[in-house]
């Protein structure tokens, strides 16, 4: 199943309170449950005016549907080609 990096432009994202982030997470999970098991939220990173999310989904269209139903943006959706980390340097 393809993995995607989603960039969400949310002004002041890094200043959102824990309560606001909890509410966003709860909304996202609610929409995910309604869409079924094909789409999965792996994790997100909050930085500056953006939230970067990793999702597993069969298509970009399903990610866009999740964003629309959740009421949050999906400004950039990029398929993840591969993942590297420090272990990639090992021979």
pLDDT tens readout for residues 7-51: 999 999 999 999 999 999 999 999 999 999 999 999 999 999 999
Do residues 4 and 57 lie in contact, with contact meaning Cβ atoms separated by under 8 Å?
yes
The domain 3-85: what is its CATH number?
Answer: 3.30.70.3090
The answer, as to whether pTM is greater than 0.85, is: yes
Among 82, 65, 83, which Cα is nearest to 74's? 65
Do residues 45 and 52 lie in contact, with contact meaning Cβ atoms separated by under 8 Å?
yes
Give the strands of the sheet with 76-79, arranged side by side.
40-47, 50-56, 3-9, 76-79
Domain ranges of the chain: 3-85
Q: Give the integer Cα–Cα distance in Å for 71 and 40.
A: 17
Tell me, what's the pLDDT at 91? 81
């Amino acid at each position: 199943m393809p993995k995607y990096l989603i960039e969400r432009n949310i002004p002041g994202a890094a200043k959102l309170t824990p309560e606001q982030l909890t509410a966003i997470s709860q909304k996202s999970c609610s929409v995910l449950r309604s869409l079924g098991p094909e789409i999965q939220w792996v994790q997100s990173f909050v930085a500056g005016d953006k939230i970067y999310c990793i999702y597993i989904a069969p298509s970009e269209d399903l990610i866009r549907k999740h964003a629309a139903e959740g009421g949050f943006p999906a400004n950039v959706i990029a398929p993840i080609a591969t993942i590297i980390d420090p272990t990639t340097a090992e021979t």
